[in-house]
Structures are given as C-alpha cells and as structure tokens.
Structure 1
Amino acid sequence: MPRRTMIEAIRDAMAVSMERDDDVVVFGEDVGYFGGVFRCTQGLQARFGKSRCFDAPISELGIVGAAVGMAAYGLKPCIEIQFADYMYPAYDQIVSEAARLRYRSGGQFTAPMVVRMPTGGGIFGGQTHSQSPEALFTHVAGLKTVVPSNPYDAKGLLIAAIEDPDPVIFLEPKRLYNGPFDGHHDRPVTPWARHDLGEVPDGHYTVPLGKAAIRREGAAVTVLAYGTIVHVAEAAAAETGIDAEVIDLRTLLPLDMETIEASVRKTGRCVIAHEATLTSGFGAELAALVQESCFYHLEAPIVRVAGWDTPYPHAQEWAYFPGPERVSRALRAALEG
C-alpha cells in the first residue's frame, strides 16, 4: 500500500473526487498554478484544467460566498482558506448562508461544500497563522466539523466531506502535514520536506463522518483528543505507563458519543486534551457531555489540558502546546482524584 504524507493524502482525496464527479471544483488563494501554500493542490490545475482548479482573489468572504452560490446551483466546491486564522472575514458567509441554506429554504436548496483550513501551530507563524478556531464552528447548527490526525483518515474523511450534502469545515493540523510526529515538540513543520507517515490506499474510499477511533486501548482512564494532540496523548500514555485509552474523535460534529460513553463508563476517568485555548474550547462541551451521560460512572473529576488563555505566543510556541509532560500530569491527576 502506498505511504503518503497528510498533504499527499489530502491532494489525492481531491483528485479522486474530481475524477469521479465533474461537479467538484477546487479554488482559493494560490491553489491553482502554485499548488497552495502547503502544496495540497499541487498538480490539480494541470490535470483538471483552470475551470475546475483555479485561483481566487485575496478575499475570504468572496471565496466562501462564491462557494455558497455554486453549491446552491448544484456544484460541489472544495475551497481552501489559506490559514484558519484568515477565515474571520468569511465567518458571516459560513454561519449565515452556508450553515442555514437547507433550513431557511425548507430543504429546497443545500450547500454541499467543504471549507479546508490549515489549523494550529507548528510553523512559528505567530498570532495570525497558528490559531485553532474549531469551537467557533461546532457552535453553529448546520455545520459539520472534521479534524483528522493521520493521512489515511485525512483522505477518507475529506472524500466523505466532499460527498456530504451539507457544509463541512475540514481543519488540517499543520504539524501533521509532513510527519512523522511522535507527540513531542522537537522540530517545526517543514512544508517542503517529505517524510513517509502512513499507509493510504489508492482510489476511492471514505471514513464515515461522526465515528471516532480508539487509537490505544486501556482501562484506567479515557483520553479524548483530536488532530495533533492524539499523538501527544499516545506519547504521554507510553511514557507514564498508565493504562490509558486514547480516543481520536476525528469528527467533532457529529460527535460519536456512543464510543465516548462506552470508554468512560469502562475506565471511570476522563482527560480531555486539545491545542486551542482552554476557556470555551471544545473540551468544555466534551466535559459537559461526559458529565451528563457518565456522571454515575465517574470516579474522579474530569481533567482538561489545553493551550493558554492568551493571544497566541509567537516566542513561546512550543511551551504553549499541550505536550506529553502536561498530558502526563493530567493523567496522574485523574488517577489520584
């Protein structure tokens, strides 16, 4: 089976989808001839032509607004916002138009579109290239939110997202783009370097939206994570020797509560870890859901590990990330609670 980086898996997902369905179009800033700032769309314009993979003006509002119109018309746009930090001018179009189109039209129109965004830190990008805004999307009814942690899932989830009849926010952790990543903060991402990371089949396959994956089985404590922090949690469990069960959520909405509940009821303890800031992060919603559904099975308070409640600290990027040491402390706290 071919081994691909996450960048290559994402590119292959778009190529497979464009090959199978002429209605799939790809556009955004620099995604055409240049192939995208991280080269996720490299070669797609040469293969499918300028009418199906093309550059857009530097206007995130315009990119998303055009995609909503295309989707309502019957196309299936897969658009790229160059960095998740740049999505704020387009947020109104995402929330007020894309997310609500099915409902406000009584089902007469839908918005089968995907908004791809590199997310999180790892490239020393500072405050305007490193944010993790997933909670802003999970709060919006009508959107699906996806965060893959490995190349196999990235390809399968993206194909599933493109084929979904409603809008999907697809967040791509930059620290995982080129791998391998062992959960430690020992190096920045190098977008131009290639490192084999995962086996990714050729051709078409999907990973279902709304289904979590158990990355490490255990009986002492459940760890809920997604994206980059899945690898951090695995590293922490290995280093401490704690029998932790690590669950990769993969899709934040729809959320696989069945898998979460089964694990927490088995272990009786729960640690939640993510890169975004702690206050009002998606971990707060996870903690509320676990408390509501598993209260009588919990043997200790739920513990959260997250980024600092500060503007993104450029000079202290590697300290800001929840690393294995901080997750290890959370695991011990859950066991001692």
Structure 2
Amino acid sequence: MDIDVFATAHRLEWQRLDALIRRRRRLTGPEVDELVELYQRAATHLSTVRSSGQDPALTARLSGLVARGRSAVTGAHASAWGDVSGFFVRTFPAVLYRMRWWWIGSALLSLALGAGIAVWIMADPQVQAAIGPPEEIRAYVEHDFANYYVEHPGASFAAQVWTNNAWVSALALVLGVFGCLPTVYVLAQNAANLGVAGGLMFAHGKGDIFLGLIIPHGLLELTAVFVAAGVGIKLGWTLIAPGPRPRLQALAEEARAAMAVVLGLVVVLFVSGLIEGFVTGWVHITWLRIAIGVAAEALFLAYVFVLGRKAVHEGETGDIAHRPETAPVAG
C-alpha cells in the first residue's frame, strides 16, 4: 500500500471528523450521524495504517483523532472532579506502590547514614568542636533548635516550609535522570543535616527535645523526600538499564508516572507543612504532637499500601491512559 496516496485520499474525511469533534456540543442530528460514520471510518483507517507499519507519525496522529472521536461519540468524558478523585484514589497511590522498593530503599539508606553521623558526633567531642565554637553549639541546643519552630507566625512558616521541602523533593526527583548520582547526593546531604542536628542535641542531653520536635512533621516530610528520591533514582536507573523496552520509550513511560508523583507530593508536603507550622512548635504536649505525626504517617502508608496495591492489581500503572500507542521514531 502506498501510504502517501492513502493519506491523501482520506485527508478530507479526517479533517471533517476533527471539525465535527470540535463542534460536538452544537451538532445537528444529521451532523451527529456523520460524526459516528466518520469515526468508524477513521478507526478502520487507523487499523490499516498501523498494520502497514510505514508511517509512525501518521499512526500517532490518527490514534489521537480516533481517541477524541470515541470520546465525542460515546460521551465518555469524565468530569474535572472525577479526574481529580481518580488521580488521588488510583493513579498517585498506584505509582507509589509500584515504586515502593525504590523509596523504601532510599529511606533505609538515608536513615542509616543520618544515624551513623549522629552517633559519630555524639561519641567524639573533637567532631563537635569542628562543627562550631562551643558557645554557638550551646546556643543551638539550648534555644535555637526549638525556637526555629515558633519564631515565625504559623501560616507564613508553613508556607516557607512547604516551598523549601517542595524544592528539595523536586531536586531529588528531577536530578535522578542524570545517572542517579545527583539524587543520591541530595539525599545524602539531607541525611547529613539531620544527623548533625540529632548528634548535637543528643550529645548535650537534648535528645528528647530533638525527637519531640522532629517526629511530628518529620515522619511525613522525610517520607515525601524519600519518595521523590526513590522515584528519581528509578528514572536514572531506567535510562541506564531500560530492560526489554527501547531506552527512550522506557524513560518516557517512567517519566510520565513520575509526574504523577510530583503532583501528589505537592499535597503530601502541604500537609507536612501544616503540621510543622501549626503543631510542631505550638502544641506543647509532647505525646500529642508525636501522636499527630505518627497518625499522619500511618494514614499515608495505609493510603499507599491499601489503595495503591488495589489499583496496581487492577492494572493501573500511573501512565497516561489515552496516550498515542505509537510515537514517531527516526527511521
């Protein structure tokens, strides 16, 4: 089959179908019948072009046209609220569950590094002295660490924390595509900062204050960072070892799923920011602060391992549902 002749012969039909789809809410009765007929023809044309394998670009264009035609004919268009609920009930938790071992591994390694640094600082006064002058360290453990959570109004502090954590998470995720190592660096730097703070506080007998102020918001906040880092490392590893899929196709599929993580983490970090801004420094009952943080983390993990597991078992991957089946490639 001469694909150019075929495309020329049916181009006007495809253009007419596209025009009817754009006007689908204002069609007359005869135009609706015409829409259905042209959609059926276009579906047949797509099958013919796809089986020939001669023109991936035309196949992709016809796939999009047929998908829009199907939506116009069946009226199967979800509401905006349906799209949002579907994202948070299926897409986002499915991606988190599917990539769980990547971010769980990131969490374990990061926490091990942070704990190791903390123990090193606690056990060696020379390391403590190298961090800063004794008077500065004393001020930090006696006042500055705790005052950090109350020195600004709750609303502005929550917004500041949200922005900062979103930036760290975005870096951890996006940089992963550059061979994993930049994300590992961001993760290690974050773990080192936590380890230094914990080491200094425990070394001066303030470990209870450290845990009482870190746990409420830190459980959910750090989990979000670990998720971003795990997904970023998965992106980088996909580029290195794509498996049976073509390298760019594999990267594109995982990157589309990663975008779902980016959008979902905005909400997770918003909740974490609210806890840090309005609970950590302002709820003075330690057990209540910690209980709020543990409850938030437990709800998040249940969300991932209940809804996410269910969605994955039903075939959800987090990729775009109606993407073109074939993308243009260099011949």
TM-score, normalised on structure 2?
0.26
Q: Greater relative contact order: 1 or 2 (C-alpha under 8 angstroms, separation 6 or more)?
A: 2
Rg comparison, structure with higher value? 2
TM-score, normalised on structure 1?
0.26
Which of the two has greater helix per residue?
2
Which of the two has greater strand per residue?
1
